[in-house]
Chain A
Amino acid sequence: DAGVTQSPTHLIKTRGQQVTLRCSPISGHKSVSWYQQVLGQGPQFIFQYYEKEERGRGNFPDRFSARQFPNYSSELNVNALLLGDSALYLCASSWAVTGELFFGEGSRLTVL
């Protein structure tokens, strides 16, 4: 069975640009969460979606937004990129709101 898949795996943007990251959860999983991992730090919670509804939001500015589609895939959008947005963006899925999180390999964003 396919695990959590994320795209793109690597990308480079310049300050002020916008980026969209995509995530496909494990088949049958209805909940998707996004985490940001800056170098040398642990992952930090950004969003959780369940059944296409936002269930939780971390301490991130409004430049960060996300959505979940009817097929349970998800997109994370970041506008007006800053150098500090350079990080590994991890998507995780779970069968329901509760339960073990399965992480993808992440999308590494570099902002120049």
Chain B
Amino acid sequence: DQQVKQNSPSLSVQEGRISILNCDYTNSMFDYFLWYKKYPAEGPTFLISISSIKDKNEDGRFTVFLNKSAKHLSLHIVPSQPGDSAVYFCAASRGSGYALNFGKGTSLLVTP
């Protein structure tokens, strides 16, 4: 069963606007959450993470928000750039260093 869900397979955003990618999880034992970015023919690249003791983590243009009560997290990219076009995977684990449970990914297209 899918414990991490990304319900939007694709998203298209104009350059300069905000991209919001969403992720839901079902396992209340998850306490560490990550976003990975994947270009074709490359392995996933770590983008940003957040632990359950926080509700927000920011790194440059990327911000992850965590709503534990709703079991929901989101990735905000501001401003979006064409180079951000990739597949974004949400992942969760029971602590850092444990097996990652990935969602199916959201394909982001940023148009000029």
Contacts and interface: CB of A to CB of B under 8 A. Distances in A.
Interface string B85-112: 0000101000111111111110000000
A26 B48 CA distance: 20
Contacts of B41: 105
Contacts of B82: none
- Name B's interface SS: loop
Interface stretch (A64-72, A73-81, A96-104): A96-104
- Name A's interface SS: loop
Q: Considering residues B4, B6, B41, which has the most beta carbons from chain A within 10 angstroms of its beta carbon?
A: B41
Contacts of B101: 45
9 A-B pairs closest in CB distance: A42-B102, A103-B43, A98-B97, A45-B99, A97-B97, A98-B96, A103-B44, A43-B102, A100-B46
Interface residues of B, number: 23
Given A97-B97, A103-B43, 10 more contacts: A31-B97, A33-B99, A40-B104, A42-B91, A42-B103, A58-B99, A90-B44, A98-B97, A99-B97, A103-B45
B59 interface: no
A102 B42 CA distance: 11
Given A42-B89, A103-B44, A106-B43, A96 B104 contact: no
A56 interface: yes
A90 B43 contact: yes
A96 B105 CA distance: 26
B98 to A, nearest CB: 7
